[in-house]
């Protein structure tokens, strides 16, 4: 933790650059604080009220309605709040798609099990691939972006050109799966790059956990979008699925497939019950509802400009001193949410992180699997946070350059 606080932020807060759970808008936290003991005159907290009450119905229905407006979700898509996190999403995507009528019809016509395409651009998409393999799928690796860095370490920092992708034949493919923003490796794949490359008959399943609500998204180009809340949407404990309703259709032939889906991962089970077949993560959804309203007030176009401005400041500093701040990710695929870089030595990295903490800038250590430095710049981080960090980068460079 920071030793001392000179940020000027309210409530003695620090500059929290955590990759998740992440910083939340102060205005949202203030509203949560006001409502914590007595929600809107009910005499109880949201954490205490029945999820079957009219008051909570208004909260969860309002959350969905706001999100639909913000993202312009078409009527032929279901919005589901559930639990299970990213790993649950890996399994749920595979199991639900192979239970849907359209995929099973295609499979019967082919006469054998369909494959599923995976773009491996970092640890999270690799996790999705491994889960499909574990469940008995026939995944086809469209691309694997792993390669050696200049320092010899193996990492993800680019994608091969589309001409080198190994997409399966549409008639033999159930779905295409990719993670749009890899929080560990700092790789962000433009959605248009993927959806433009995939045959329209094949649904695209996208994990948008760490860049949801940071820019406008053309929902209708996706079969399903999955996202954990704890980056841009709210606290940990709730996940979001936006899925085209035809992909929830099932027939008698799919009974056995459905039996293999645990209820807690069954999208149709949740969609049919308004996300409440049983007790949902009530408090987390309530906080998400406030963040959705905050995002609506900001506007996604403004949030996109802000994400470009924040990350641009940091990348400009990296580019100005590439021999000192070593950013491994190719420019076109640089994440606007999670900026990763290395310094010339591990000792300098440790010193950088320690000195930043003394200035109330915390959670800068890179993921344990890759090391280095990582600064996460989610929606609630004001531009001033990036400016303060870049000023520190300048001073640290001047004091320690080789």
* 191 close to 219: Cβ distance less than 8 angstroms: no
Query: Nearest Cα to 378, choosing from 17, 26, 13, 15?
Result: 17
Classify strands 139-144 and 361-362 as parallel, antiparallel or unpaired: unpaired
Which listed residue (207, 267, 294, 365) is catalytic? 207
Q: Name the one residue in this structure whose structure tokens are 């010339």.
A: 344
Q: Where are any strands of DSSP class E within 249-364?
A: 338-341, 361-362
Q: Where are any strands of DSSP class E within 221-365?
A: 224-228, 239-244, 338-341, 361-362
Q: Which two tokens stand for residue 151?
A: 């320092």
- Residue-wise DSSP of 68-114: HHHHT--TTEEEEEE--HHHHHHHHHHHHHHHSHHHHHHHHHHTSPP
Catalytic annotation present for 294: no
Helix (H, G, I), strand (E, B) or coil at 51: coil
Give how far the C-alpha of residue 285 lies from the chain's centroid of Cα atoms, to the nearest Å: 16
The enclosing H or E element of 140 equals: strand 139-144
Q: Name the one residue in this structure whose structure tokens are 């400016």.
A: 387
Q: Which two tokens stand for residue 285?
A: 């959804």
Catalytic annotation present for 126: no
Catalytic annotation present for 231: yes
The enclosing H or E element of 204 equals: strand 204-207
Q: Which two tokens stand for residue 165?
A: 């992708």
Which listed residue (106, 126, 231, 293) is catalytic? 231
Which listed residue (15, 124, 267, 294) is catalytic? 124
Q: Catalytic site residues? A: 124, 207, 231
């Amino acid at each position: 933790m920071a030793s001392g606080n000179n940020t000027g932020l309210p409530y003695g807060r620090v500059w929290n650059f955590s990759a998740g759970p992440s910083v939340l808008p102060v205005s949202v936290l203030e509203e949560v604080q006001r409502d914590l003991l007595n929600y809107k005159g009910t005499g109880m907290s949201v954490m205490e009220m029945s999820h079957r009450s009219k008051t909570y119905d208004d909260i969860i229905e309002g959350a969905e309605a706001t999100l639909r407006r913000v993202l312009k979700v078409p009527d032929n898509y279901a919005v589901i709040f559930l639990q299970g996190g990213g790993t649950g999403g890996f399994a749920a995507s595979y199991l639900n798609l192979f239970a849907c009528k359209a995929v099973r019809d295609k499979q019967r016509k082919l006469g054998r099990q369909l494959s599923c395409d995976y773009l491996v651009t970092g640890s999270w998409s690799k996790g999705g691939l491994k889960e499909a393999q574990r469940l008995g799928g026939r995944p086809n690796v469209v691309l694997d972006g792993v390669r050696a860095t200049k320092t010899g370490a193996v990492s993800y920092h680019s994608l091969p050109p589309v001409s080198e992708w190994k997409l399966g034949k549409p008639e033999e493919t159930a779905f295409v799966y990719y993670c749009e923003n890899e929080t560990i490796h700092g790789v962000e794949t433009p959605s248009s790059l993927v959806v433009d490359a995939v045959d329209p008959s094949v649904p695209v399943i996208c994990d948008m956990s760490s860049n949801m609500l940071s820019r406008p998204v053309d929902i209708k180009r996706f079969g399903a979008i999955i996202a954990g809340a704890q980056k841009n949407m709210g606290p940990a404990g709730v996940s979001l699925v936006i899925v085209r309703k035809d992909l929830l259709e099932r027939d008698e032939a799919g009974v056995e497939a459905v039996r293999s889906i645990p209820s807690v991962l069954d999208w149709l089970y949740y969609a049919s019950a308004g996300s409440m077949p049983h007790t949902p993560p009530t408090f987390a959804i309530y906080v998400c509802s406030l963040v959705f309203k905050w995002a609506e007030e900001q506007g996604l176009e403004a949030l996109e400009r802000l994400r470009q401005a924040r990350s641009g400041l940091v990348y400009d500093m990296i580019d100005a001193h590439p021999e000192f701040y070593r950013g491994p990710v190719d420019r076109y695929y640089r994440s606007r949410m999670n900026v990763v870089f290395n310094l010339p030595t591990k000792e300098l990295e440790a010193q950088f992180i320690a000195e930043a903490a003394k200035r109330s800038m915390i959670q800068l250590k890179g993921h344990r699997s890759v090391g280095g430095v990582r600064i996460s710049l989610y929606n609630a981080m004001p531009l001033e946070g990036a400016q303060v960090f870049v000023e520190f980068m300048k001073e640290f460079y001047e004091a320690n350059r080789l």
